[in-house]
Amino acid sequence: MTEHAASNAHKEDVLQEHLIEQLVSTQGYLRRIGSEKSLGYEGEIHFDKALALDRALVVRFLKSTQAEAWEKLEQHYTGSAEDVLFKQLDKALRDRGLLDVLRQGIKIVPGIPFTLCYFRPASGLEPKRIAEYEANLLSVMDEVVYSQKHGNRLDVVLFLNGLPIATIEAKNLLTGTTFRHAERQYKQDRSPAGEPLLTFKRGALVHFAIDEDNVSMTTRLQNGKTRFLPFNRGRDGGAGNPDIEDEHRIAYLYRSGDWGEAIFSRAVLIDVIGRFMTLEVIGKNEVMIFPRFQQLDAVRKIMADAKAHRAGKNYLVQHSAGSGKSNTIGWLAHHAINLHDTDDNQVFHTAIIVTDRVVLDRQLQNTVSQFEQTQGIVKKIDGTSRQLKDAIAKGARIIVTTIQKFSTDHLKALSGQGKRNFAVIIDEAHSSQSGKSAQAMTDALTREATSSDDIEDLIAEYQKARGPQSNISFFAFTATPRNVTLERFGVQGPDGLPHPFHLYSMRQAIEEGFILDVLQNYMTYKAYYQLEKTIEDDPELSGRRGQRKVARYANLHATAIGQKVEIIVEHFRRHVMGMLNGQAKAMIVTQSREHALRYYFGVKKYIRDEDYTNLKALVAFSGELDLDGETYTEADLNDFSETELPGRFDGFKPDGTPYPETYQILIVAEKYQTGFDQPKLCAMYVDRKLAGLQAVQTLSRLNRTRAGKDQTFILDFQNTIEDIQTAFKPFYEVTTVEAMSDPNQVYDLEGRLYRFGYLDKDEIERFAQTYFKGPLSGSDRARLEGLVRLAVGRFEADDDEGRQEEFRQLLKSYGRFYSFIAQVIRLEDTDLEKLASYGAWLARLLPNREVPPEIEITEDMLRLQAFKVEQKEAGSASLEAGDTEALKAISEFGAKPYTEDEKKELSEIVKAFNERHGTEFSEADMIRFEQVNREIMDEDMTEMLRNNPPDVVYAAFRDAFFQGAIRMFQRDNEMRNIVLTDAEARDKATKHFFNRALREVRDQS
């Protein structure tokens, strides 16, 4: 070797030598010799290539920790004890795998047990077990010649009690090599065939590729098919690692710091082997799971904080979709039930994992169960609520259930749990912690028998149960926290605002390549159509409902569907179908069940007409649907049950064998838009309005990675690129709120409700005296309904429909806001609780608004003269670093707050009114038109604005607004006359409030 080559080799060694020095000096590793090239080699090599272990350290560990068993082995196998041990150990490693051997040990005839690793006990009350744990031997070798076929070496290998745990290839940035070169080295030059150290399951558990700045890892070497996953902390909200003073950025591997204990420390590494790693069977394939950094970091940091603060604190975990949330939840649950505080008291007696899905997420159930090492620890509540009650009452350790099961009468009978501590782990916290079910869960876990007969005491206890509880810690997981989620579960920062306790952002996941950027290829289309009205001045087609039906008619017309289907199918065939070796899938997202059905028929017809025999489609919608005199169900159309659809669409049965038919396109209506994990999805065709959370969750179905999938496609017929970017911005990096919601708004709402004159405080008090006394009898319910109907009578006697609708909306707002604010802080005003309970009954008994009969539009009434779909935008909609937007606090009830542009426009409208008519209206007078908006924005109008272009729906809104304004100002002659006679002024006001209504609808998620 030349002097220059030797110098380069020395440079390549710099990082691995620093790593080893740190492991030896700070983590207590023993330095061992891997080959003649190892630093310190003096004639003895400790690595056995055939067995892929350090024989001397294995024997040393067993002799020092299990002397009696070793003595028995030597007595039984005189002169050959070591040979027998290693023969049986090698067999166990080949048959069962290293992970199982480390956890379960081995036995040798005539029944001699050997433990190969001692894991840290949950409690420190048993000194013997602590001493055993401390007796584990961690060691490191460099330049390990592992191959029995050639002289290939690995830079570093880590061992536990002489057994190989991790291999490491280290590169030096100063020599122009990076961790990517190390990955290629593993893929191209580290074939596992016939090499015990690299053989999946039998050899090392994990393989790391590192340089001074980055780390990646894999648990299975498959030559060119090997997939490395990032193992970085994240840098400034994106990929990479932050700077560390006087150290490499990857120092978290071998040194402790503000990030916690080192990854390769005894505390972390042995815990990962004992309580994180698992072998998962997916079809016919086995996958070894090693936690990624953000998963390991989240669990360990949360547990450290809970250890210090015990139960009663909340935690919000914002981890990007597709980042392995189910595994993180499973690990957290198992760690929580074994957590002890500094005084060795158990912190949590039970962990309850809740989801808001009525059909329990089977993947989540199975994930949690696969980490179970003691039979019976996990109770999956997939039966009745009685099963849930029994599991809690009997002290089950881990319970997996749906939030809805807490709302039943069985759970209302549960009490006496207030002295037990619960870790409640919430899947998708943006949705599953609102309403009665969440309150019922808290009640069940805190309720105690009471001897007080005083109603005020009972109400105070009921109100207290809504707030923070000292025996419950909530661990809330979501990729897309709402403002209320942040306020309920977030940790208060130095700015006084709530923040996630742990973050793995969408941006970091995209930059690391762990999920795909679904906005990278975004194309939008706009539909134009012209209708001929064949029955002139048809009264059924006037007004907003008629206009809505006209727009819907055009959108559902066979011509419209046909043109969109052609665009979709041809795009799929040309750009998507060949991806993933022909296994690529696509989803068509429609706005209603009828749209989905007509799309399904349209796609099938186009495929048949064009003779595309290699294309097949499926449809997904709920319930039965009547169309053109026929009744359809999803199961009938697809010719198999709904539960089979995910597997059929994937193409493989649970056992890994393929189905005879292959489907490429799935057409959906309100199904499979959230929680559907299908990595083969490469394209999405959107024909419905999307905003906020719904947009992010729907489009994120595309973000899962898969070998050969490096891009996705979205064609959108309803939204603009700006619409979608606006929806994604709050969730791209860390989600924040502009300000905390003011809890005093609950009193503003209370006052506004009483001013209508429908409510009577004495009646509410009498209601409370019965409602809160205990279980309600039939006569109690009759008495309560009679009391509430007195208010209903006063409501019905009011002939002002606008006031009635405003009251309806405020009553609902009060119920939601009170429920939220009572969860965040301890309230001490029983009048608020009384009004909330009374208001819930009143809201159910108030008469519904009269809904006119449906208008059936036929070809005799309308004809579609022309229809065309035109491409508008094409390119990247991807966000950049810093493209974020804070969520707003809860500050308005009913109407949305005014923007600066809206305030300016309103001022100009007021000025125009006054100049033209000599009036003295103020902006406050003009804002009375907001009540008109609240009156006309029923479900039909809201859907019409949400699902159609503004120019299509404006006429319908204008007509409804005009009629509403006349009713609103029937007692205000001055304003009414202007509305009736001044078309120009009226049109300005109408357009202003149309844009306000449109913004509110689009802002809703």
Give the domain ranges of the chain: 9-271, 292-447+470-479, 522-732, 895-1003
First to last CA, the chain: 66
Phi, psi of 162 (to 5 degrees): 85, -5
pLDDT top residue among 610 and 901: 610
Write down the residue that tokens 């090239």 correspond to: 37
R_g (Cα) of the chain, nearest Å: 33
Separation between Cα atoms, residue 620 and residue 623, nearest integer Å:
10
111: left (phi over 0), alpha (psi -120 to 50) or beta: left
The pLDDT of residue 795 is above 90 = yes
Tens digits of residue pLDDT in 506-551:
999 999 988 999 999 999 988 776 665 554 555 555 554 555 566 6
- DSSP SS3 for 962: helix
pLDDT top residue among 425 and 122: 425
When mean pLDDT is compared across 151-165, 286-300, 357-371, 777-791, the lowest value belongs to 357-371
Residue 895: per-residue pLDDT: 42
The secondary element (H helix, E strand) that includes residue 851 is: none
Query: What does the block give as tokens for 63?
Result: 């002799």
Residue 148: per-residue pLDDT: 83
Q: At what angle do helices 745-755 and 830-845 cross, to 10 degrees?
A: 50
**CATH class, range 292-447+470-479:** alpha beta
Instruction: Indicate the average pLDDT of the chain.
Output: 86
Separation between Cα atoms, residue 789 and residue 783, nearest integer Å:
10
644: CB partners within 8 A, 6+ apart: none
When mean pLDDT is compared across 874-888, 894-908, 913-927, the lowest value belongs to 894-908
Candidate ranges 183-192, 439-448, 966-975, 986-995; pick with highest mean pLDDT: 183-192
pLDDT band at 370 (very low <50, low <70, confident <90, very high): low
CATH architecture of 522-732: 3-Layer(aba) Sandwich (3.40)
Strands 617-620 and 498-499, sheet pairing: unpaired
pLDDT band at 433 (very low <50, low <70, confident <90, very high): low
User: Is the bond preceding 494 in cis, omega lying within 30 degrees of 0?
Assistant: no
Residue 676: per-residue pLDDT: 80
Q: Count other C-beta atoms under 10 Å from residue 192's C-beta.
A: 19
pLDDT band at 805 (very low <50, low <70, confident <90, very high): confident
Separation between Cα atoms, residue 729 and residue 744, nearest integer Å:
30
pLDDT band at 627 (very low <50, low <70, confident <90, very high): confident
DSSP string, 359-394: S--HHHHHHHHHT--STTSEEE--S-HHHHHHHHHT
Q: Are 172 and 211 in contact (CB under 8 A)?
A: yes
Separation between Cα atoms, residue 814 and residue 755, nearest integer Å:
14
- DSSP SS3 for 681: strand
Q: Are 12 and 174 in contact (CB under 8 A)?
A: no
The pLDDT of residue 150 is above 50 = yes
Shared fold status for 292-447+470-479 and 522-732? yes
Q: Which of 910, 896, 790, 906 is nearest to 841 (CA)?
A: 790
Tens digits of residue pLDDT in 911-942:
777 777 777 776 666 666 766 776 677 656 77
Q: At what angle do helices 593-609 and 558-571 cross, to 10 degrees?
A: 60
Residue 588: per-residue pLDDT: 96
Query: What does the block give as tokens for 897?
Result: 């707050």
Tens digits of residue pLDDT in 167-210:
999 999 988 999 999 999 999 999 999 999 999 999 999 999 99
When mean pLDDT is compared across 740-749, 752-761, 975-984, the lowest value belongs to 975-984
Residue 847: per-residue pLDDT: 85
Of all residues in the chain, the percent with pLDDT exceeding 70 is 86
Separation between Cα atoms, residue 563 and residue 762, nearest integer Å:
63
Beta strands in 372-514 (DSSP E): 378-380, 398-402, 422-427, 472-478, 491-492, 498-499, 502-504
Tens digits of residue pLDDT in 77-127:
998 999 999 999 999 999 999 999 999 999 999 999 999 999 998 887 788
What number of H helices and E strands is found in the chain? 36, 29
Q: Are 233 and 252 in contact (CB under 8 A)?
A: yes
SS3 annotation, 577-621: CCHHHHCCEEEEEECCHHHHHHHHHHHHHHHHHCCCCCCCEEEEC
Q: Are 310 and 225 in contact (CB under 8 A)?
A: no
For residue 461, give Cα distances in angstroms to 347, 469, 773: 25, 12, 12
Separation between Cα atoms, residue 743 and residue 65, nearest integer Å:
60
The pLDDT of residue 452 is above 70 = no
pLDDT top residue among 230 and 983: 230
Separation between Cα atoms, residue 424 and residue 754, nearest integer Å:
37
**Among the residues of 46-155, which ranges form H helices?**
55-65, 67-76, 81-96, 98-104, 127-134
User: Which class for 264: exposed (0-12), middle (13-18), buried (19 or more C-beta within 10 A)?
Assistant: buried
Q: Which of 730, 693, 724 is nearest to 884 (CA)?
A: 730
When mean pLDDT is compared across 446-455, 786-795, 939-948, the lowest value belongs to 939-948
pLDDT band at 4 (very low <50, low <70, confident <90, very high): very low
Q: Sheet harboring 502-504: ordered strands across?
A: 378-380, 398-402, 350-355, 422-427, 472-478, 315-319, 502-504
Query: What does the block give as tokens for 814?
Result: 């009060």
- DSSP SS3 for 32: strand
The pLDDT of residue 1004 is above 80 = no
Q: Are 802 and 938 in contact (CB under 8 A)?
A: no
Separation between Cα atoms, residue 230 and residue 215, nearest integer Å:
6
